[in-house]
């Protein structure tokens, strides 16, 4: 259970504050895109978006899935992404961030099913996967 406590205020002031928050979100997050929200959790002492950006993955695309140009911790379905595209993109980003910063990003999006990154992720990293 939870207890919420509010402070009475003028309705117009509340609306103005809500509009300001919404405007800010629209300028820094791709809220008009098809996205599952924030993709990776922020590791202690780091911002996931910065790690993704620093690894050169902002805007990176796999099939119909893309890391947002606006906010690099948002994965976007450009209209034709499959689950495979989204998983491969996310795992490629995680692998590149680990390679670049020695930090393992943890998914924030809850995924259902089993995905094992294989040949595509290894090839993306320039490794020769064993057959």
What residues contact 80, with CB distance under 8 A and at least 6 apart? 63, 64
pLDDT of residue 122: 63
Q: What digits encode the pLDDT tens for the residues 10-63?
A: 999 999 998 888 887 777 776 776 777 789 999 999 999 999 999 999 999 999
pLDDT one-digit tens code per residue, 58-117: 999 999 999 998 888 999 999 888 888 898 999 999 999 999 999 999 999 888 777 666
Q: What integer is the mean pLDDT of 117-122?
A: 62
Check residue 56 and give its pLDDT: 96
Per-residue confidence at 130, pLDDT binned at 50, 70, 90? low
Q: What is the pLDDT of residue 10?
A: 92
Distance CA 36, CA 74 (A): 8
> 130: which DSSP letter?
-
Note the CATH architecture for domain 11-124: Alpha-Beta Complex (3.90)
Contact predicate 87/115, CB 8 Å: yes
- The pLDDT value recorded for residue 53 is 97
Domain segments of the chain as ranges: 11-124
The residue among 110, 124, 103 whose CA lies nearest residue 43 is: 103
CA atoms of 76 and 68, how far apart (whole Å): 6
Of the candidates 111, 102, 110, the one whose C-alpha atom is nearest the C-alpha of residue 46 is 102
């Amino acid at each position: 259970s939870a207890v919420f406590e509010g402070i009475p205020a003028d309705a117009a002031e509340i609306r103005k504050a809500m509009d300001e928050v919404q405007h800010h979100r629209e300028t820094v997050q791709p809220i008009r895109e098809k996205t599952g929200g924030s993709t990776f959790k922020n590791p202690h002492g780091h911002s996931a978006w910065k790690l993704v950006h620093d690894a050169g993955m902002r805007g990176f695309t796999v099939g119909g899935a893309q890391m947002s140009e606006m906010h690099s911790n948002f994965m976007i379905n450009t209209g034709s992404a499959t689950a495979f595209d989204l998983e491969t993109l996310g795992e490629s980003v995680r692998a590149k961030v680990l390679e670049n910063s020695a930090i393992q990003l943890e998914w924030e999006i809850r995924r259902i099913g089993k995905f094992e990154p294989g040949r595509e992720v290894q090839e993306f990293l320039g490794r020769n996967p064993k057959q």
